[in-house]
Amino acid sequence: MTAASKKKPAPPTGPLRCESPLSDLPRITPAKLRALREAGLVTVHDLLRHYPRRHEDRKKFPSFPRAAGPDPLCLRGTVTTTKASYFGRRMQFTLTLTENSRQVPAATVQCRWFNLRYLPKILATGQDLIIHGRPRALKKGGVVFDHPDFEVLQSDAPDSALIHLNRITPVHPSIGPWSPRMLRRLLFETLAQLPDEDIPQLWPLPPVASPSPATNPLTTANALRTIHFPSSWEELEAARAHLAREELFEMQCVLARQRARQVGGQAPVIPRQSPLLAKFLKALPFDLTAAQKRVLTRIFDDLATGHPMNRLLHGDVGSGKTVVAATAMLGAVAAGHSAALMAPTQVLAHQHYENLRKLFEPLGIPVVLRTAARKEKSDANGPRVVIGTHALLFAPQTVGRPALVVIDEQHKFGVRQRAKLSAQEPHPHVLVMSATPIPRTLALTLYGDLDLSLLDEMPPGRVPVRTLVRPHDKLAEAADFVHRQLDEGRQAYLVYPLIEESTRTSLKAATAEYERWTKLLAPHRCALLHGKLKADEKDDIMNSFRAGETRVLVSTTVIEVGIDVANATVLLVENAERFGLAQLHQLRGRVGRGAEKSWCILLAGEDAAEKLDRLQILEQATDGFAIAEADLAIRGPGDLLGTAQTGLPPVRLAKLPQDLPLLEEAREQARQLLADDPALTDHPALRTRLAYWEKQLFAGVA
């Protein structure tokens, strides 16, 4: 070994590049590098995409507030007192922040933190401190900030004026040992070394709809500089919108390519007409609604092309999706193929099994049930209908290779699973059914790879469900009401939400709840249904409920989807505020399925009086999509955009539903660009990015 090779590698010379590893940056210790890597930041480019979680206006601080206020404030002052108090094992750290002003006496506010034992080591009197938080009133008078964010200024440090102060200052999410202050400096210095030409532009952005002369046209390079260190709020918003468009575009490209792959495949031709189908439709106990007929026309159009169908059938609870699916499945069987219907839960699979058997067996078509509990290999070959749970779809030895796959009530069955289905040869026709009223905004992102059909009409004769929102102290009255309905021969669902269905304590809580209701509703028979029960236990309970022997189902949310028992007329939900509106609407769909008047009683939890407002939306609204939009506006996209698990590029800057126009624009642009340049010859940066995301998409499908 030569002397030279033993030396540490020389620090890289030449300009920093976007794809440079972060280890090329000066003065980063291995531990800190590791922390960045664990957070997924490997290259300079990754670092640039670590966006601030907010910005503080540190050019001009407001004067100290005298009263509580609804908005967070960013204040600067001097620490004049500190105090740590201990209450048993609890610890409270309090400090007084005094305004730097000539006013006498100077204004002060209190700051409090609980159980942060390191604070006395880093906060001390005399410090120049910036805090960010919401001012609240102290009982004894004065203003307090509880758990504010804070930053100690080293006003004499040379970088302070330049990087941390006198500007709209970014506050980045901390990463392990990296405080926002450290990340800010790292980004500042990195951006200063990075030439603009080196920051890749995904695609040449067409001009924005409302160009502002100062910021248009934005390049990715200056949008990235601006999102971290903007010189005005307007500029910041323009940069955010630019990057939001980019991320939405990237996501839509992945979806559009996925779609193109699907559309290009081969699939069996399933004709629209056959004696079997005619016989089936004639035997149905009701006429199809106009919406059902319309949707079926579209489905059979798809099935006749020789290319795979990939269609989402969206319809509110009770709109009659099952019979649509059954008709399509029968079409496949009539053409000599098998068809499969996959449900999210075993209870639901069982219910479909019972229903489809009634429809199909008179026609001489075998229906088989495959769940985790009944996985035995099928001996029956030839056309047949298989009912199973989602999880079994990728086990061809149990479900075979159906020509048509119907996915009912998909929740966890996302883009990634559909991508995997579409990778099968031959590609099956896929019909995804959902009652989760997903707003259009999200449908575009979550189902961008599918064609969409809507069942927007209810079967005739439905009596709307009457919804009542009540505070917790009306529980006894509500119980009386349920009792009277039971006396009249009806059945009821009582839903008790569990935060964590799997833990033993919550199961205990559900059991206690169940015992309480059993007493309240005696002599009517109750049963407890929860996710931990074995499949056949669940089946037994459901069968007994369906048969009317069990009158009340006390349940966690396992009844959420699909269950259809017409004699059940009351749904009572406890701690209803723990559910989203859309989810409550789904639950509500369990009743109102027969001719009798039905009720949905939403009881708020003990401390949830102020959340009644939100629930009251459900007293008026009956349209699932309107409710979903309201829910989205209130709660934000949350999990629905949990893109980490969908395998799509993350949406970090786009705000939905506000950015819906950007999303639609992005979709159009993605389709256009991929139509013009399918191989992305002219867009190498985009090609690289998409290759990366597609690898993610196909990785890790169970």
Which positions lie near ligand ADP, rule CB under 6 A?
286, 288-289, 292, 315, 317-323, 435, 459, 562, 564, 593
CB nearer ligand ADP, residue 355 or residue 378 = 355
Residue 344 touching Mg ion (CB under 5 A): no
Residue listed under structure tokens 């449900």? 343
* Residue 263 host element (H or E): helix 233-264
Q: 580 touches which of Mg ion, ligand ADP, none (CB within 5 to 8 A by kind)?
A: none
Nearer to ligand ADP, 315 or 428 (CB): 315
**Closest by CA position to 612, among listed 602, 625, 621:** 602
Helix (H, G, I), strand (E, B) or coil at 614: helix
Answer with the entry of Mg ion, ligand ADP, none that 289 interacts with (C-beta below 5 to 8 A by kind). ligand ADP
Indicate which of ligand ADP, Mg ion, none lies near residue 550 (CB less than 5 to 8 Å, by partner kind): none
Distance CA 401, CA 237 (A): 51
Question: Is 589 near Mg ion (CB under 5 A)?
Answer: no
Task: Decide which of Mg ion, ligand ADP, none touches 647; Cβ closer than 5 to 8 Å per partner kind.
Answer: none
**Among residues 658, 608, 602, which one has the least CA distance to residue 629?**
658
Q: How far is the CB of 316 from Mg ion (least distance, A)?
A: 10
Q: Say what the alpha-carbon torsion angle 116, 122, 125, 127 is, to the nearest 10 degrees.
A: -120
| Orientation of helix 624-635 relative to helix 581-588, angle to 10° | 150
H-type helices in 595-657, by residue range?
Answer: 612-620, 624-635, 643-646
Burial of 312: CB neighbours in 10 Å, binned 0-12, 13-18, 19+: buried
- Residue 134 vs 294, nearer CB to ligand ADP: 294
Shortest reach from residue 484's CB to Mg ion, in Å: 30
User: Are residues 393 and 340 in contact, defined by beta-carbon separation less than 8 angstroms?
Assistant: yes
Residue 674 tokens read as 């991929």
Q: Among Mg ion, ligand ADP, none, what does residue 429 contact (CB within 5–8 Å per kind)?
A: none
Nearer to Mg ion, 180 or 562 (CB): 562
Q: Which does 259 bind (CB under 5 to 8 A by kind): ligand ADP, Mg ion, none?
A: none
Neighbours of 379 (CB within 10 A): 6
* Alpha-carbon dihedral angle through residues 188, 193, 197, 203, given to the nearest 10 degrees: -30
Binding mask 548-577 for Mg ion (x = CB under 5 A): --------------x---------------
Write the CB contacts of 313 (distance below 8 Å, at least 6 apart in sequence). 295, 299, 321, 324, 325, 431, 432, 433, 434, 453, 455
Q: Minimal distance in Å, beta carbon 17 to Mg ion?
A: 53
Signed CA dihedral, 601, 602, 604, 610: sign only? negative
User: Which residue sits closest to Mg ion, CB atoms considered?
Assistant: 562
Nearer to ligand ADP, 323 or 686 (CB): 323
The interface partner of residue 317, options being Mg ion, ligand ADP, none and the CB cut-off 5 to 8 Å by kind, is ligand ADP
Position of minimal CB gap to ligand ADP = 320
308 binds Mg ion (CB under 5 A): no
Q: Closest approach of Cβ 316 to ligand ADP, in Å?
A: 7
Partners of 24 in beta bridges: none
Q: Fill in the per-residue mask, 445 to 484: x = in contact with Mg ion (CB under 5 A), - = not in contact.
A: ----------------------------------------
CB of 594 to ligand ADP, least distance (A): 9
What is the closest distance, in whole angstroms, from the C-beta atom of residue 410 to Mg ion in the complex?
11
**Cβ at position 321, least distance to Mg ion in Å:** 5
Least gap, CB of 457 to ligand ADP (angstroms): 9
Q: Which is nearer to ligand ADP, 230 or 624 (CB)?
A: 624
Q: Work out whether the CA dihedral 568, 569, 575, 576 comes out positive or negative.
A: positive
Residues 200-239 that bind Mg ion (CB under 5 A): none
319 binds, among ligand ADP, Mg ion, none (CB under 5 to 8 A by kind): ligand ADP
- Of Mg ion, ligand ADP, none, which one does residue 318 interact with (CB within 5 to 8 Å by kind)? ligand ADP
Burial class (CB in 10 A: 0-12, 13-18, 19+), 207: exposed
How near is the Cβ of 636 to ligand ADP at its closest, in Å?
Answer: 27
CB 323 → ligand ADP: shortest distance, Å? 5
Using the minimum distance from each CB to Mg ion, give the nearer residue, 388 or 562.
562
**Of residues 266, 668, 688, 447, the one with CA closest to residue 676:** 668
d(CA 623, CA 612): 19
**Closer residue to ligand ADP in complex, CB, 315/414:** 315
Min dist CB 561 to Mg ion, Å, is 7
Q: Show the tokens assigned to 681.
A: 């010859």
Size of the site for Mg ion (CB under 5 A): 1
Q: How far is the CB of 514 from ligand ADP (least distance, A)?
A: 27
Question: Taking CB within 5 to 8 Å according to partner kind, which of Mg ion, ligand ADP, none is near residue 323?
Answer: ligand ADP
> Among residues 26, 28, 58, which one has the least CA distance to residue 153?
58
**Number of residues in the chain:** 702
The amino acid that residue 18 corresponds to is C
692 binds, among Mg ion, ligand ADP, none (CB under 5 to 8 A by kind): none
CB burial of residue 571 (10 Å; 0-12, 13-18, 19+): buried
Where along the sequence are the contacts to Mg ion (CB under 5 A)?
562
